[in-house]
Structure 1
Amino acid sequence: MGYVYEKVTYNKNIPAKILMQDKPGGRCNTTLHWHKEIEIVYMIHGCLHVKINGHESEIRDGEFYLCNSEEVHITRVDDMKANYTYLVILLSYTEMKRFAPDIDDSIFKVTHSDSSYQKIKRQILNLLGTLKSTDPYIFLVQDCYLRTIYHTLLSECKTSKGARAYSKTTVKITHAKQIIEYINQNYREKITLDDVAQEVGFSSQYLSKYFKNITGYSFIQYLLKVRLEHALKDMMNKNLSVTDAAYDNGFTNVKSFITTCKKAYGVTPRHYKKKDA
């Protein structure tokens, strides 16, 4: 079954994608997603909550989290209007597999108390210092810092998944991916918790608890979130009206679209579009 996942385009000349994020809290909340790349997020200003395979943690100023390849994750913040600044580094899966062919049977574990945590953090700070450089060959310096992160992960943080311990997690991830795919394919339609439960072979009651554990949202909250993001994108990219964007993306009425947008971003869809223009 072809699961929906986030496709990553790397920065030119380096084995990673580096993104500096500086935006209001409402735009830091992601939908449930996964990708092959190893993700490192370093918090510069604010507090970011992340759920990885259903396990929640948070990072504050000067801290980072690491999400392994194919782990299902979602992020959120508490203050929708406050500004948050953080750096996202997505390490190339292909490059990592070139160094470690057994990467699919391995995970990387990094905790605050590990010396490896501080080593990786130093390289993140080094990378931060290069982002405003006008040097056309700065990618050579960035490549050096990134490969030091690769080396630290491979030599100090890599461990076997373990057949028993990871089998339950693998099943959990598989179900989450099925749910992501089903919602992403059907959010424009009238779908219910019962529909999704039938798709993955769960009872509705169990799915409700499972979904809340994985995402931190109820099913309907998450479905509205997905519809909202698609509707706002259509307003921005296709210049759709509020009404057309609402109905084209599964909202039962325009009021529901406006209410959901206000809850997420504190403004109406029309004002959101003006602010982003």
Structure 2
Amino acid sequence: MYFKHELVIPNDDLPYKLFVFEGKEGNYNVAKHWHRSIEIFLVLEGEIEFFINSTPHTLVQGEFILVNSNEIHSINAPLPNYTLVLQIPHHLLEAYRESEYVLFKTPTNNKDEAIKSLIESLYYIYSEKSYGYELELKSYFYKLLHVLITKYKLEEVDSDTLKRNKNLDKLSEIINYIKRNYKEDLTLEGVAEKFAFSPTYLSRIFQKYASINYKSYLLNVRVEFAYKELCNTEATIGEIAINNGFPDSRSFSKTFYKRYGLLPSDYRKEMKKRQKSAIH
């Protein structure tokens, strides 16, 4: 299992992302991943299991957890829950950066009435969108940032954490480049040269921080995009392969089978059967 990088995109009309956790029905897992945004999970009903750098945290009703930029985390939600998630782009806190990063401590007590009330209010105001809601949102959001900065901000950051954050920042840039250019011929040597790294160094940071080698990561990105094209178009298997950076249909089919357990042609047949059954 490799660690995925998540690109956080704020809500269209907000400078941050605010939503209800998609695992609210239970029986839901989010694999290990990281992103550059700061993230708060607030459980209002039920419970979830949260892991930060493999350290477990069980959150129950009224409790929250704070995830730093570039912290590797995962979630297990076996039971129904109602959880609000707030993702704050790190640049919104640049003014309070005394070292290279603004980092927060993981609270020993996961209950904070001020944070709970502010996030609930943000979600309610945003859902209602009554006249002048934009100004009210700004007011509550800045109050929340004030609580985070004055109560939870780390004054000192150890050298190992700084090094890990620098390397994950570099890896984030590289991964975003790969996702934009996955259709091209992206050799390890070519990508390393673009970012002024040696191929050995680039290979090492992929293995260390994403738990996957460069070639396998690139194939995973390509097969994920190819999967969407397979499901949503009538393009041939050969066309899908070429459209998504594979040299030929054989290479695509091999990678697809390894990921999904079926050849792409068989997967498409099964998908069409399910669609017909759903109609009838």
What TM-score results when the alignment is normalised by the length of structure 1? 0.61
The answer (yes or no) to whether the contact 1:20–1:86 under 8 Å persists in 2 is yes
Equivalent of 2:227 in 223, 227, 232? 232
Does 1:18 find its partner at 2:18?
yes
Query: 2:38 maps to which residue?
Result: 38
Q: How far apart are 1:153 and its partner, in Å?
A: 0.7
The answer (yes or no) to whether the contact 1:247–1:254 under 8 Å persists in 2 is no
Count of equivalent residues: 254
Letter in 1 for 2:9: V
Equivalent of 1:211 in 181, 206, 209? 206
> Structure 1 residues 156, 29: closer, same or farther in 2, change over 3 A?
same
Does 1:120 find its partner at 2:115?
yes
Query: 1:108 maps to which residue?
Result: 103
Letter in 2 for 1:153: L
Partners of 2:218 and 2:77 in 1: CA distance: 20
- More RCO (CA 8 Å, sep 6+): 1
Query: 1:91 maps to which residue?
Result: 88
Partners of 2:81 and 2:240 in 1: CA distance: 28
CA offset digits 1:210-257 (Å, max 9, x no partner): 5344234455553343223322344567x3536133442245133532
Pick the structure with greater CA Rg. 2
The answer (yes or no) to whether the contact 2:50–2:76 under 8 Å persists in 1 is yes
Partners of 2:140 and 2:220 in 1: CA distance: 37
Query: 1:8 maps to which residue?
Result: 9
Query: 1:201 maps to which residue?
Result: 198
Partners of 1:235 and 1:27 in 2: CA distance: 25
Q: How far apart are 1:157 and its partner, in Å?
A: 1.6
The answer (yes or no) to whether the contact 1:33–1:73 under 8 Å persists in 2 is yes
> Could you say what the CA RMSD is over the residues aligned between the two structures, in angstroms?
4.8
Letter in 2 for 1:241: A
The answer (yes or no) to whether the contact 1:40–1:64 under 8 Å persists in 2 is yes
> Structure 1 residues 190, 115: closer, same or farther in 2, change over 3 A?
closer
Does 1:147 find its partner at 2:142?
yes
Does 1:158 find its partner at 2:153?
yes
Alignment gaps of 5+ in structure 1? none
Query: 1:241 maps to which residue?
Result: 235
Partners of 2:81 and 2:220 in 1: CA distance: 20
Query: 2:252 maps to which residue?
Result: 253
The answer (yes or no) to whether the contact 1:109–1:158 under 8 Å persists in 2 is yes
Alignment gaps of 5+ in structure 2? none
> Structure 1 residues 134, 26: closer, same or farther in 2, change over 3 A?
same
> Structure 1 residues 105, 180: closer, same or farther in 2, change over 3 A?
same
> Structure 1 residues 84, 73: closer, same or farther in 2, change over 3 A?
farther
> Structure 1 residues 48, 131: closer, same or farther in 2, change over 3 A?
farther
